[in-house]
Amino acid sequence: MILKKLIGLLILLAMAFLVQNVFAMNKTSVALDKPTNFQFNDNILSWDEVAFADNYIIMINGKEHHRNVPFVEFIQEGTYQVYVVARGQGFEESLASESNVEVDYNQPFQIEVSQREDLVLWPAVPQATHYLLVNDKGFIKQTGNTYLLEDDSLTYITVQAVFPDGSKTDVFIWLIED
């Protein structure tokens, strides 16, 4: 009787061991694809969203950041070495992808102001967040690259592009035509 119980116990232990190994073999996880198609426009570095990724680990010049969206914005001027890793629950992390970014606001830019009837306009300045306008009446913060002349008494307007770090282009003066 003791021998039967001992044999039954050994069979039960062997079965438990087999079941555990079968489950362990089926638990292999798959790594996510690495981020691809990096693009840098208007101070934003973006990449294609990785399928099944919940978030991204972004290393910028050695400092770690976490985002749940496939982009990161740069404000300060400088050169940045960026590594991005995709993470998702139930998956291994992706391999890191690398991109290099240079933010330089001190680019020479010639703003050419023109006038069409009551509209003063100029080309958009790359990376500018807004424009400072000065006229006979005072200062104006303008987000677009046009200004409607609503006051016939204005004689001049100046335009200056402002960048995310606060730096500015040269001031360009426009004498308003009658």
pLDDT in tens, 85-131: 999 999 999 999 999 998 887 666 777 777 888 888 888 888 888 99
Contacts of 95 (CB under 8 A, 6+ apart): 31, 34, 85
Bigger pLDDT: 1 vs 124: 124
Give the per-residue pLDDT at 101.
Answer: 92
Q: Which two tokens stand for residue 64?
A: 């770690």
Give the per-residue pLDDT at 68.
Answer: 95
Which residue from 140, 109, 101 is spatially nearest to 126, judged by alpha carbons? 109
Q: How many residues are recorded in the chain?
A: 178
pLDDT at residue 49 greater than cutoff 50: yes
Give the per-residue pLDDT at 22.
Answer: 47
Tell me if 44 sits within 8 A of 73, measured CB to CB: yes
- E strand intervals along the chain: 39-41, 44-46, 55-60, 63-67, 71-73, 78-87, 97-103, 114-116, 119-121, 130-135, 138-142, 146-148, 156-162, 172-175
31/93 Cα distance (integer angstroms): 6
